[in-house]
Amino acid sequence: MHDNDSLNAAAQGWIARMAQGEAAAVTALYDATLGHVYALALRIVREPDAAEDVVADTFLQAWQQAGRYSDERGTPLAWLLNMTRSRALDQLRRRGSEETNVELERLHERLDEALHEDDPLSVVMALESGTRLRAAIAALSPVAQRLLGLAYFRGLSHAEIARATGLPLGTVKSHLKRAQDALRAAELDA
């Protein structure tokens, strides 16, 4: 089963239990999805403290609205990432100017499209559209792109990536090192 498929299956159960007031269920959802939620929040607000606030707001909203969740409107991960995006954009709006708000609306539209794909890497790619970093990611081999997605946006360790992909651990490490170096160089050139 695909990683997101198993996560979404478990998350549906946690959300149902949250709707019944079970606090342990929100802890389980938090533990399983924190990497996704924090990564998206940080990409939008670009400040660790602000991203942590967004994470807290997101899980509070998930707890409060668990009874409203419907799988007909999307997967649990998409539901959670949509809330994350909304909370992060709200935070940027509160501290931004009118010009920033126009940019945020454009970002909001790109993120809407990416969130429907239910793939954290698609969300990040939408956030980085038009930048050198996006170009650097696009220039990576498909294997390197997949490994980066597994490492940074799904939170897997090198050993977990090796098991998930069937690649030798050394190959995973070398692909990730080269990809990180390429992205770091692109970031420095920006």
Q: Which CATH number fits domain 3-116: 1.10.1740.10, 1.10.630.10, 3.40.50.880, 3.40.50.720?
A: 1.10.1740.10
pLDDT one-digit tens code per residue, 27-47: 999 999 999 999 989 888 888
What's 15's DSSP letter?
A: H
What's 46's DSSP letter?
A: -
| Nearest by Cα to 174 from 182, 155, 68, 112 | 182
Fold equal for 3-116 and 134-189: no
| Nearest by Cα to 121 from 3, 10, 16, 32 | 3
**Where along the chain do its domains lie?**
3-116, 134-189
According to the model, what pLDDT value does residue 99 have?
39
Q: How confident is the model at residue 100 (pLDDT cuts 50, 70, 90)?
A: very low
According to the model, what pLDDT value does residue 122 have?
57
Q: Does 1.10.10.10 match the CATH number of domain 134-189?
A: yes
